Amino acid sequence: DAMVIQNPRYQVTQFGKPVTLSCSQTLNHNVMYWYQQKSSQAPKLLFHYYDKDFNNEADTPDNFQSRRPNTSFCFLDIRSPGLGDAAMYLCATSRGTDRSNEKLFFGSGTQLSVL
Amino acid sequence: AQTVTQSQPEMSVQEAETVTLSCTYDTSESDYYLFWYKQPPSRQMILVIRQEAYKQQNATENRFSVNFQKAAKSFSLKISDSQLGDAAMYFCAYRSANAGGTSYGKLTFGQGTILTVHP
């Protein structure tokens, strides 16, 4: 059974048109993360939520926002997508309680194309 | 800030042979964790193996083992008896042990190495 679910698998949007990517989890984990992975590059953390507390990375553009309405769901909003935002967006979760053995569970990602 | 470097963009291996993927990192911390993740064409990240910096013993998981050299800040992955299913992008990743509770899972990834397995 899928534990971290990302929909849709592929998303196409137009330049400047707002788009929302979704992530849900059945693990009841405290922490949810959004990573951006451009082609042939390392995944880069955009932000994460610990429960309702939002933690933004210093170099994440303002164009990227996130919402976590409840434990199970987390959304990534791109307010005005540019061509440079085309990437795979990976959602991950972790318990947030085990300092020494924290394990991340990843979804299958959403591949975003910007036309 | 920590950095992770994988100097091999691509590697290839014959089925049943052994291959080693390289990873170096830079940190001023003494306590941290290192990981190897596999990302197959399905793009889902899968944890392969994990190493705690305070442990001198190299981690092993079945056909996967690491060579952890703390002084050299090196963390290579050895895959023995390679199988076709091992073909994937492999990422080395670092996590600070000093991160606060909200950052227990925050990883810094290397650029990745594409592994091809030839039958």
Q: What are phi and psi of B83, to 5 degrees?
A: -120, 160
Give the pLDDT confidence score for residue A100 in this predicted structure: 65
Q: What percent of chain B has pLDDT over 90?
A: 74
C-alpha distance from residue B71 to each of A96, B28, B31, B56, B75 (Å): 29, 11, 13, 11, 11
- Chain B closest-CA separation from residue A47 CA (Å): 9
Chain B segment 37-66 residues within 8 A of A by beta carbon are: 42-47, 52
Mean pLDDT of A40-55: 90
pLDDT at B105 over 80: no
Hey, of B10, B32, B39, B43, which one would you mutate to test binding to chain A, going by the most A CBs within 10 A of its CB? Answer: B43
pLDDT at B101 over 60: no
Chain B contact for A42 (CB, 8 A cutoff): yes
Contacts of B109 in chain A (CB under 8 A): 42-44
Q: Map tokens 């994460």 to a residue.
A: A48
pLDDT at B100 over 70: no
Query: What is the tens place of the pLDDT at every residue in B23-41?
Result: 999 999 888 999 999 999 8
Chain A contact for B109 (CB, 8 A cutoff): yes
C-alpha distance from residue B62 to each of A99, B48, B49 (Å): 25, 10, 10
Give the pLDDT confidence score for residue B50 in this predicted structure: 92
Give the pLDDT confidence score for residue A32 in this predicted structure: 94
Beta bridge partners of B5: B24
Which of the residue ranges A70-74, A100-104, B26-30, B64-68 would you say has the lowest mean pLDDT? A100-104
Query: Do A42 and B107 make contact, defined as CB atoms within 8 angstroms?
Result: no
Chain B contact for A77 (CB, 8 A cutoff): no
Give the pLDDT confidence score for residue A34 in this predicted structure: 96
Q: What percent of chain A has pLDDT over 70?
A: 95
Instruction: Using pLDDT thresholds of 50, 70 and 90, give the confidence band for residue B102.
Output: low
Of B46, B102, B111, the CB nearest to A50: B102
Mean pLDDT of B56-73: 94
Give the pLDDT confidence score for residue A99 in this predicted structure: 67
Query: Do B44 and A108 make contact, defined as CB atoms within 8 angstroms?
Result: yes
